[in-house]
Amino acid sequence: MELLKVACELNDVVDATMDQLWGGGLLLTSAGRAGTYNAMTIGWGLVGRLWRSPVFMVAVRPSRHTHRLIEETQEFVVNVPDDRLKDTVEYCGKVSGRDYDKIAEKGLTAEPGSHVRAPLIRECTAHYECRVIGASQVVPELMSGEVQQLYSAGNYHTLYYGAILSILTDR
């Protein structure tokens, strides 16, 4: 029996989202203006309320292929995998979408979103469709020494604040 994706509330999926974020990571998908898309593993992110909106904040380094795609469309989807996708999440964090079609190579199904160009990953259990409403660069001088140590090679993240337009989960 094929599962249906249905709209839900943040409270319905936030615990599973945070468990996966702290566990193995989430899959961030993005799409460029030309229709190309990518999946990337994220282990850093926050979900909450900001500027009167439900927001998912994701951290993406400028060197990442995903960074360019988000800059082009100002949209992304945060996909919540379950433990069956552990190897896929690891893989998507190790190779670049510039060189590999990670979605195809891992046998994932990219489905169109309702509100954004970035695809949903059917095999994931929940999806946050987001439109960028703000972005900021990590400024080393404003970070503690402990945080600065995480950037020994530079390449400071861009923090993308995505207004959550839709949350879907499996029924």
Of 77, 68, 89, 76, nearest to 21 by C-alpha is: 89
Give the number of other CB atoms < 10 A from CB of residue 138: 17
* Amino acid in position 58: V
The reported pTM is: 0.95
* Measured distance between the N- and C-terminal CA atoms of the chain, rounded to whole angstroms: 11
- Residue by residue, DSSP assigns 113-162 as -SSSSSPEETTSSEEEEEEEEEEEE--GGGS-HHHHGGGTT--PPEEEEE
| Cross-strand pairs, 76 | 130
pLDDT tens digit at each of 171 positions of the chain:
566 899 999 999 999 999 999 999 999 999 999 999 999 999 999 999 999 999 999 999 999 999 999 999 999 999 999 999 999 999 999 999 999 999 999 999 999 999 999 999 999 999 999 999 999 999 989 989 999 888 888 889 999 999 999 999 998
User: Domains of the chain by range and CATH?
Assistant: 5-170 (2.30.110.10)
**5-7 and 158-170 as β-strands: parallel, antiparallel, unpaired?**
antiparallel
